[in-house]
Amino acid sequence: MTVKRFYVWAILAIIIFLFGLFSGHDWTLYAFRTADLQNPEIYSRFMKFPVTFLCMVLAWITLKDAFNRKDNLKLSVAYSIIVLGDIVFFFDVHSVIGVFCFALAHLTLIYRNAVGIMSYRHKGILWSTLPLILAFSLAIMFFVFYPMLKSNMPYFYTLLGYAVIISGSLWAAIAAVKIGFFPRANAILIVVGVACFFLSDVCVGFYRSLPMSYDRVFATYLTWIFYTPALVLTALSSYDLKKIFG
């Protein structure tokens, strides 16, 4: 086993351990109704942030084991912004600045994942799927979240703008599978990873919208069930997978 492969496997093992630790902690509190309704992640947050940081490290250390160095640079920038966003949310879970950080990260992922689309001969078909994804996201925003957030319209509009961007990110991930710039396995990691990002953000939307209750706690804990795979799979998508897992 090479030194690089050892580092990757070691980081993945730590992430899996932390994921099991905070998931067990969170869902035990939920099952026994002992969670702090005002701050349900008061303790597990200290186990969750290291997962985000380690995924950034996973992206940073790709270097010569990346299938494409320029792609790895884009992904490393996106993860640096994600960590910045998580730092902001660590101190203020309702921060608008945190939302802007994640919006910028997904704009970077769109730029990364949709590479080659202009020269793709079936790009017209790909572009036609974007309105469908947008319509689905906007339907969720207006029919699900608007009734709960209409008393705070500035915040609703902030989340609405973010919903448009995350929809574009999901579209770009689907495009990555079709365009062919990424190796097939990497493209699959991208689309599954971004789909998990999308689902985790839906959970965040519920957390931001629901009143203080165990439904809100459920949405909070479910967020990380999707967010952790999103971080890990997307970080791995820049590797030459044969070097690491072959």
Q: What is the mean pLDDT of residues 148-162?
A: 93
Q: Determine the pLDDT at residue 215.
A: 96
Categorize the per-residue pLDDT at 95 as very low, low, confident or very high, splitting at 50, 70 and 90. confident
Tokens encoding 111: 């730029």
Those residues with Cβ within 8 angstroms of residue 116's Cβ, 6 or more apart along the chain or in another chain: 179, 180, 181
What Å distances lie between residue 33 and 94, 165, 213, CA to CA?
Answer: 23, 35, 10
> Could you identify the residue written with the tokens 């970077």?
108
DSSP code for 239: B
Tokens encoding 34: 């002992």
Q: Determine the pLDDT at residue 119.
A: 83
For Cα atoms 61, 65, 66, give the angle at the middle one, nearest 5 degrees. 85
Q: Determine the pLDDT at residue 196.
A: 98
CATH label of the domain that carries residue 18: 1.20.1070
| Phi and psi torsions of 239, nearest 5° | -80, 155
Q: Determine the pLDDT at residue 78.
A: 98
Q: What is the mean pLDDT of residues 200-217?
A: 94
pLDDT tens for 161-195 read 999 999 999 999 999 999 999 999 999 999 999 99
- The overall longest dimension of the chain from CA atoms, in Å, is 57
pLDDT tens for 22-52 read 999 999 999 999 999 999 998 999 999 999 9
> Could you identify the residue written with the tokens 């992922």?
109
Domain that holds residue 10: 3-245
Q: Determine the pLDDT at residue 3.
A: 63
Q: What is the mean pLDDT of the chain?
A: 93
pTM: 0.94
Domain count, the chain: 1
**Rounded CA separation 175/58 (Å):** 24
CA 90 to mean position of chain CA atoms: 16
> Does residue 77 have a pLDDT over 70?
yes
